[in-house]
């Protein structure tokens, strides 16, 4: 992706999901090495990646991790790879990568399926504050 700064990992998230927005703010607070940038799945870069990787957004609709040279990670694998780059103790969650993705994704899918019911939904995508704007791509 030409818009992605070198050595950055791009987290694509559901911009209207309250849980996803809270998760993005959680990651920003714990991303002390400044590894991540963000874009909503609904953004132009989100749509480009969905098209490029032929992603069925009805099956994978809450979080994706794009890493240059490694492509896209989905669902629980994406979430756990993200945690591995965050500060202690959050980074310890990456130990769950040893569990087969079939089991991890079952839990992930259950939460994703219920996230709007449990946490609610916005009418529009989150608009970052001025100090966070540099972390978001369009």
- Structure confidence by residue, pLDDT tens digits, 98-127: 999 999 999 988 888 888 788 777 765 556
Range(s) of the domain holding residue 62: 9-122
Q: Examine the pLDDT at 6 and tell me if it is beyond 80.
A: no
Residue 96 within any structural domain of the chain: yes
Residue 132 within any structural domain of the chain: no
**Which pTM value belongs to this model?**
0.84
> Beta strand 71-74 with 9-13: parallel, antiparallel or unpaired?
unpaired
Residue 127 within any structural domain of the chain: no
Give the number of domains in the chain.
Answer: 1
Residue 59 within any structural domain of the chain: yes
The percent of the chain in helix, strand and coil, each rounded to the nearest 5, is 50, 15, 35
Residue 4 within any structural domain of the chain: no
Residue 29 within any structural domain of the chain: yes
Partners of 10 in the β-ladder:
37, 66
Residue 135 within any structural domain of the chain: no
In angstroms, the CA 67 to CA 62 distance is: 17
């Amino acid at each position: 992706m030409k818009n992605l700064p070198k050595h950055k990992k791009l987290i694509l998230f559901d911009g209207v999901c309250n849980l996803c927005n809270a998760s993005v703010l959680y990651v920003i607070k714990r991303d002390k090495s400044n590894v991540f940038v963000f874009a909503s799945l609904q953004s132009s870069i989100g749509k480009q990646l969905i098209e490029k990787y032929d992603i069925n957004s009805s099956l994978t609709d809450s979080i994706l991790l794009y890493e240059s040279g490694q492509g896209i990670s989905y669902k629980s694998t994406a979430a756990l790879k993200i945690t591995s780059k965050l500060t202690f103790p959050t980074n310890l969650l990456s130990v769950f990568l040893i569990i087969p993705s079939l089991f991890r994704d079952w839990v992930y899918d259950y939460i994703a399926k219920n996230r709007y019911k449990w946490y609610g939904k916005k009418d529009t995508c989150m608009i970052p504050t001025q100090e966070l704007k540099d972390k978001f791509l369009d």
